[in-house]
Every structure is written in structure tokens, then in C-alpha cells.
Chains A and B, each alone.
Chain A
């Protein structure tokens, strides 16, 4: 095993080492702790980019933890999909951590940095693991860290929202475990590749139980992805928490979508017989409802954070619309849109944070207020991020939605899908235009005294600008990104290669 192969575990090890170090350094030397935290994040991004370079040869790599061969031990699996998700999550993490440091949001409690890194540990582990029970464990790691991050900075409203968030997720975990129990009881394995092989070989007698397990799994992933009707926890939680934390949480809903993309083509793909594409009949209507309700929420939202939270729900809906067609072409479009939607959702929350910091007691409510410092710059950032979130040209949301429309044209549901995507774009655009004009244009009656905000530094504009820059780069490099997405989709829809990569030595 070469050093390059050992690199596969780096995205899990780096945050696991950095988190306790920052915890130890924090009480004595805050500067050292923050430096360690940022350096750890950058190192993780470097490792993720290196892994992304590694998968360009189209090979799928499996890493047996402790040297136990699959399916007896736990394996990490690196393919194009997991490498792309790793790069996305660590790039977002670097930007969000930079913003938290620059705005001193990390100083509102002692444990922001350790929790942040445990969150990344859970995320990276979930993207890499090739074992279903291990996926559950990494889900729990990222959830526990997210409870802590969500409560960072305290406040009664935050506590109340946290109780609901925690209860919903504990029930979700119970459902996940029941699904795993059923799968193990029927097939006798929890290794994803081995499961795929055994489900393909299973007889008609096991079909009912496997169907139940599959539906339960999809329910749990839909809960994480906040797909209607399981979306009610999201706006409440994301509005109550700090916007900078909510910006990181933009990737949490995508973990649910990632799990669907990983599990369904592998376990319930073409080879699964009667169970092939088992979730599609109800995933499509749910995605339609998610897109409609999300952008309807954007339309009626009374504050920037609320609007950003509903934009996140709506973008997940649009994403799952493309995913639920389960074809290679639409999956490529979905993957492109996934990267875009994560960055755009995070940008909306960061801009909301910048605005809140400058408007004093007016907070982020969509009501006219006196002038505030940096009004033009903030307004321009809001314009750019809302253009991205809605999917108007020139930013990458437009290309992503166009790509989805183009690839879904040959499918049977294309009329509904086009109507939903185009209609939600319209109402989302109107919603953002309304908020923007109230916040940034009605805000300055000439001669009125400006808002007296404690914030005088412009350092908080840096991180949103980086995110907008990343979105612009995704637009300019759309050709390259599309080629990557297509190669990734091709790999997802050839599950036999995944099975061979993990169980190769056993099957030969």
C-alpha cells in the first residue's frame, strides 16, 4: 500500500486530530487554537484536492481499516463522487471558518473550533465510508457536533429550536437503525458492495422485507435532506442558529441527497430485479412539493435568514427532481447543481450575517431602516447571491438549471418538471427582489441618521466575496465541471465496478 493510498483516510484523521488540539489550546492561547483550526481546515482542503486528483484515473479505491478485508472489516471507498463531495465540504468549511474568525463569531463560546472540526469529521466520514452501519455512526458524529454548533452563542429561542431539532433527529436515527437491522437480518451483511451483490441475488421471498428496509432508509435520508413533508425542522433550526453556522449547515442537507445518490443506484439499481429504482414513484412527487414549498417560502419570507433557509429547501427540491429521474444524464446535471446549490445557500446565509451585523436593532427583518455602513457593498453581495440561488444568468445557477432542463427533456415527467423548475425560479426571483428592494433601496431616506452599528470593519465582506468568486469560477469553468459531473455519473451508474473494487479479492 503506497502513501497515496493512505491519503484516503486523511480527511477523517485530520479533523480528528485538530479538534482535541484546538480544545486543549483554547483556554490558554486563543491565537494558537484559531491558527491550528484554520491550518487544519486548509490541510483538509489540500488532502481533498489531492484525492480529487487521484480519482481522475477513473479507478475506485478501497481502504480496509485495520487491514481487515471486506466484507468483514469496515472499508472506506474513494470514487469520483466521494472525492468531489470532500472537495466541496472542505472548501465550504475553509470559507465559513474564515468568516467565523474574522467576525469573532467563534468567540461567543469556548467550543466553536472543536465542534466545527468534529462536524467535518462526521461529514468526511459519511462521504468516504463503504459500510452502512459506519455511515450511521458518521451521521451521528455530524449530528452531535451540529447540535453543539447550533447552540453556539446560546439564547432562549435557540434552545427551543434545538429541542425540536434534536428530537426529530433522534427519531430519524431510530428509523435508520431499524432499516439496518432489517437489512442485516435478511442479507447478513452491512457492507454496501456486499449488500448490492446479495440484494441482486435475493429471491422473491425477501423482496418485501428489503423493500421495507429501502423505504425506511430513504425516509431517513429524506429527513436529513429536508424533503417535504419532512422539511419542517429546517427553517426553524436554521433561523434560530447563528448565520455563519447555518452557512456550514448548507452542506448537511446535501449529505442526505448524497446518501440517496450513493445507496439507490448501488443497492436498488438495475440489477435489483423487482426492487430496481424502488424509491422513484414517490421521490419525484416529494421533490416537486419540496421545490414548490421552498420557493413559496422564499416568496413570503419576512427576514433574510428565513428566506435563505427556504431557498435551501427549494434548491434541495430542484436537486432531487433531477436525481429522482435516475438516469446517467440527469444525474450529471444534478451533481453540477448540487455543488452550485451548496455554495449559493451558504452565500445567502453569510450575506444575511453581514447585513445583520450592520443594521443594529433592525437585524435581518425585511423592513425599511435608516442607512447603514457598507450598504452598497452588502446590497451588491445580496444581489449576486440571490441571482445565484434563484438560477438567473450570469452565475452558475442558470447553467445548472439549464442543464437539468436539457437532460430531463427526454423523460416522461418533463412537463411537470419543467413547469416546477421554471415556475419556482419566477416566484423565487420575485421574493428575492422584494426583500432586496426593501432592505437596500427603501433603506435610505436622505438626511436620516444612519444606524449606529458597532461594526466598523469591512473584514466580514471577504468570505461572502470568496463564495461569490467560487460561484463565478464554477460558471467560467462550467465546461470542465460538466465533464467531471458526467464522468462521476457514469461511475455511479456502473455499480459493478464499485462492487469489484471493494470485494475484488473475495470474488476472484
Chain B
């Protein structure tokens, strides 16, 4: 199996799981989904520099082929931003849960608990 196939299928599985979880009703699952989605995006960005093995990142004497260093810089930025965003989403979900007593994304009461028990 080639490296490309492995990476591509990993991105595919992460994205599928991320999309599925993001569409769920509870904030906990949505936050997990967003995390998986950002992982998938980071892997994808990393792969845009092409998958090569044993190449110097910038410059080495006597070598003509180099790995592309730019996607790694892009991924670093994306990781930092996604990390901050996820932290914010966690805090918001927690506050929303504590203030409304429900962890539904739309803030309605949990359907399995019934309306009256709020």
C-alpha cells in the first residue's frame, strides 16, 4: 500500500467522522467533531507539499530535490488557530450547559428528559 493511499484514507475517515459528529445535537459531540475535522484539515494541508521521504527541508549541498517547507508553516498556523477555536468552543459549550442546564446545540431541553424537568 502506498503512503499516499494511507494518508488519503486517514483524512477521509477523520473527515467523515468529523462531519457526522458535527451534525449531532449535543455540544460535546459537536466539539469532538470539530476537533476531528481540524485534524483532517491539518493532515490534508501537510500533504499538499507532496509526500516525500529522506529529503532535506531547505538546502543541503549536493542535493537537488528538497521537501516543501511551506505547508509545515501553514499547518503550524492552522493548528494554533484550530486549538484556540476549539478551546473557545469548549468553554462556550460548558457555560451554555451550566446556564441553561442542557447541552443541546440549539439550547433546547434534552428531549429524553422531558420539558417539565428543566
Contacts and interface: CB of A to CB of B under 8 A. Distances in A.
Interface of A: 133, 137, 140, 144, 147, 156, 159-160, 162-164, 166-167, 170-171, 173-174, 177-178, 180-182, 184-185
A144 B84 contact: yes
17 contacts: A147-B88, A147-B92, A159-B99, A162-B96, A163-B93, A166-B89, A166-B92, A167-B22, A167-B89, A170-B34, A170-B38, A170-B82, A173-B82, A178-B44, A181-B47, A184-B45, A185-B50
B42 to A, nearest CB: 8
Interface string B3-40: 00000000000000000001000010010001001101
Contacts of A185: 47-48, 50
Given A156-B99, A164-B106, A167-B30, A174 B89 contact: no
Contacts of B71: 181, 184
Given A170-B85, A173-B85, A156 B48 contact: no
B88 A164 contact: no
Nearest to B103: A163
B109 interface: no
Nearest to B37: A174
How large, as a class, is the contact surface on chain B? 20 to 34
Contact of B74 (A133, A160, A162, A164): A133
Contacts of A160: 96, 100, 106-107
Query: Sorted from nearest, which 4 A-B pairs have the closest CB atoms?
Result: A160-B107, A185-B48, A181-B48, A156-B99
Interface of B: 22, 27, 30, 34, 37-38, 40-41, 44-45, 47-48, 50, 70-71, 74, 77-78, 81-82, 84-86, 88-89, 92-93, 95-96, 99-100, 105-107
A145 to B, nearest CB: 12
Given A147-B88, A163-B92, A181-B45, 8 more contacts: A159-B96, A159-B107, A167-B89, A170-B38, A170-B82, A177-B78, A184-B45, A184-B71
Nearest to B34: A170
A173 B22 CA distance: 14
B89 A170 contact: yes
A418 B41 CA distance: 42
- The CB with the most chain B CB atoms within 10 A, among A159, A174, A178, A184, is that of A174
A156 B34 CA distance: 23
B95 A171 contact: no
B45 A177 contact: yes
Contacts of B78: 177
B74 A178 contact: no
B105 A167 contact: yes
Contacts of B48: 181-182, 184-185
Nearest to A139: B81
A163 B96 contact: yes
A230 to B, nearest CB: 15
A164 to B, nearest CB: 6
Contacts of A180: 45, 74
B73 to A, nearest CB: 9
Contacts of A144: 84-85, 88
Given A170-B85, A178-B44, A162 B92 contact: yes
